[in-house]
Structure 1
Amino acid sequence: MKNIKHFYSLIVLFSLLTLSCRQITQSVDETFHPNDSLVKKYNKENHFGTNGEYTGTTKTSTTTSVQRRQEKTIVINGDTVNTPEMELKAKEMFHDIELLKQQKDPVAAEKIQKRVNDFLKEMKLPQGAKTNIGIEIPAIKAKKRLLSAKELEQAENKLKKLPQYRNKEIIVYESIHFYEDGSINLALQHPGNPKYVDKYHYKDGKWSEPEPVIARNMERRTFPLSEIHFADAQQVIKNYNVKAAQVEGAKPTSDAYITIWDNGMRWNPRSINGSRERYDIQFNNNGTLKSFRQE
């Protein structure tokens, strides 16, 4: 009888430890102890008394070995279960669950659920309903990336529709940066005073308010926005990475930018550095490959 109580305690311990943490107390109650009637039903189906005693068929057999080990088994729903083996596998399961809980993985709860179900199936125990394991896992934000060609085009159109530039030509000053996190930085000639320059930042689908910056060499560092297409940044990155893949030790790029000088524009990056070689790479204004040569 003592061994049977030990088994019952193991089942209870298994239920609690599988969901052990303060953040999932509610899930434990709802999943394993939804109400008294379900508990009574579980006890009845699995031959447990109201005080935790086992009322089913128990078979104890003793085998002789060098260590004179006693093997203990119980019968659940007609299946014979080895209790020492169950205890060992339960410990292994708890260890695996702790490792999964430590992982910063948004699907850790699903993996834990599967590990629990595998244990129950292997031990021929009732699996019941799906466990709602509300483990608190640090949120993992999806890595942001450079805007798609369509999104880049939308950003450009929103810039052109800014109230201060309505019905006015937009002149870009010095550079435009397209970053891998989806943001864009640029500076524009002031719509009311051509001697002034304001910088703008694009993020989460919106352009920021203008901020004044000190401008130098305005006559050599300006270029009309009408001759620039933001979507071409995708073409530049694609062509750059195709060539970078051909150079030993070279790393791909995930962003691009435009520099303006002498009333002209240039796409960047303009060089590919490998572990043994360095290449110069040039692009046309529309992002297509212009030249590629070893330096």
Structure 2
Amino acid sequence: MKNFRKIYGLVLLLGLFSLSCKQITKSINETFQPNDSLVRYNKENSFKQNGVAKGITKSSSNTSIERQQERITVKNDDTVDISEMELKTKEMFKDIELLKLKQSPATAKEIKRRINRFLKEMKLEEGGLKTIDTEKSTVKTKKGLLSPAELALAQERLKKIPQYRNKEIIVYQSVHFYDNGAINIMLRHPVNLQYADAYEYRDGEWSLPKPVLARDIEGRTFPLSRMHFEDAWKVIKIYNEKAAQIEGAVPTNSVYISIWDNDMRWFPRSINGTRDRFDIQFNDDGTLKSFRQEF
């Protein structure tokens, strides 16, 4: 089982990083030598026949025999032909390369299905071997910041969570918009105004509240009704336009709102280049407020 996990990891990694088929073949042959069923040569029972040394092999497992002469491995009564595995491995890697060229959101799932089909054909799903989980796949597709329409929808859904029905929603401390499509926000508790809860937005849904340790809650609150999530796109657009004009500056793909003295501020608020640093500030609606070089 341990060795089958090794070959599972090996096949996945080699396939995704496009190693040569010669290396794959060598790795497969080396990996398919079970620890718990290694065929040992017994010197005491060896004898000479027609001038050739022969030996009686013994296995520590009742059902596992390795026959390297025929390039066949028998594992728990299942026969795996190494030559066939090499051929199917090459075919799988070719398919994966073609899938990777698509660069679509469905690529990771398609690669998952292709590798799982290979494992099933090679009878490698048994003995504790698990199929690939899309979320744990080494091929990850970034969703990117939600579109303006999706951001607006997220804000509307936030207004409809049961605990704030018919209540004003007050944002506490910050709102973060991430390039994986997630939003993190903290809200003042709807009943106990000295408390605050954190919420996360993923895959079109807001999470249940998670208590946070609130400090200076009176000075770090701002009404949700006075902010618009879709303005995050304005901030990113303006920031990146300015960054493109500065040598060595790196564009951003995520932004956040920070609340101080009951006022909201968009971040980042500075652009660092290799030679210069600039201060950049935005109005509440995401439009440019000021842009100046720092000396």
TM-score normalised according to structure 2 size: 0.56
- Equivalent in the alignment of 1:277: 276
Q: Aligned equivalents of 1:190 and 1:253: distance in 2?
A: 32
> How far does the alpha carbon of each residue in 1:45-70 deviate from its partner, in whole angstroms, 9 at most, with x for none?
xxxxxxxxxxxxxxxxxxxxxxxxxx
> How far does the alpha carbon of each residue in 1:124-158 deviate from its partner, in whole angstroms, 9 at most, with x for none?
xxxxxxxx997689773422211000000010000
> How far does the alpha carbon of each residue in 1:11-40 deviate from its partner, in whole angstroms, 9 at most, with x for none?
xxxxxx9xx99xxxxxxxxxxxxxxxxxxx
- Equivalent in the alignment of 1:75: none
Matched ranges for 1:205-244 at <5 A: 205-244=204-243
Of structures 1 and 2, the larger Rg is shown by 1
Q: Aligned equivalents of 2:161 and 2:181: distance in 1?
A: 20
Q: Aligned equivalents of 1:242 and 1:108: distance in 2?
A: 31
- Equivalent in the alignment of 1:197: 196
Matched ranges for 1:72-221 at <5 A: 98=90, 101=93, 105-107=97-99, 140-221=139-220
SS in 1 for 2:145: coil
Q: Aligned equivalents of 2:158 and 2:277: distance in 1?
A: 37
Q: Aligned equivalents of 2:148 and 2:235: distance in 1?
A: 11
Change (3 A) 1:187 1:104: same
8 Å CA contact 1:248, 1:275 repeated in 2:
yes
Count of residues in correspondence between the two structures: 183
Q: Aligned equivalents of 1:141 and 1:98: distance in 2?
A: 23
Change (3 A) 1:104 1:283: farther
Change (3 A) 1:272 1:109: closer
Unaligned runs of 5+ in 2: 1-20, 26-85, 103-113, 120-131
Q: Aligned equivalents of 1:99 and 1:261: distance in 2?
A: 58
- Detail structure 1 runs of 4+ shifted over 6 Å in the superposition: 132-139
SS in 2 for 1:242: helix
- Equivalent in the alignment of 1:257: 256
SS in 2 for 1:107: helix
SS in 2 for 1:219: coil
8 Å CA contact 2:92, 2:118 repeated in 1:
no
Q: Please provide the CA RMSD for this pair.
A: 3.2
Q: Aligned equivalents of 1:146 and 1:257: distance in 2?
A: 12
8 Å CA contact 1:100, 1:108 repeated in 2:
no
Q: Aligned equivalents of 2:176 and 2:278: distance in 1?
A: 22
Q: Aligned equivalents of 2:255 and 2:176: distance in 1?
A: 6
TM-score normalised according to structure 1 size: 0.56
Q: How far has the Cα of 1:104 moved from its partner? A: 5.3
Change (3 A) 1:242 1:167: same
Q: Aligned equivalents of 2:234 and 2:152: distance in 1?
A: 13
Q: How far has the Cα of 1:106 moved from its partner? A: 4.8
- Equivalent in the alignment of 1:118: none
SS in 1 for 2:97: coil
Change (3 A) 1:100 1:294: farther
- Equivalent in the alignment of 1:289: 288
8 Å CA contact 2:222, 2:262 repeated in 1:
yes
8 Å CA contact 2:142, 2:179 repeated in 1:
no
Unaligned runs of 5+ in 1: 1-16, 22-93, 111-131
Q: Aligned equivalents of 2:101 and 2:262: distance in 1?
A: 57
> How far does the alpha carbon of each residue in 1:91-132 deviate from its partner, in whole angstroms, 9 at most, with x for none?
xxx9xx95992795352799xxxxxxxxxxxxxxxxxxxxx9
8 Å CA contact 1:171, 1:224 repeated in 2:
yes
Q: How far has the Cα of 1:214 moved from its partner? A: 1.1
Change (3 A) 1:261 1:140: same
8 Å CA contact 1:237, 1:256 repeated in 2:
yes
Change (3 A) 1:160 1:100: same
In percent, how many aligned pairs have the same letter? 58
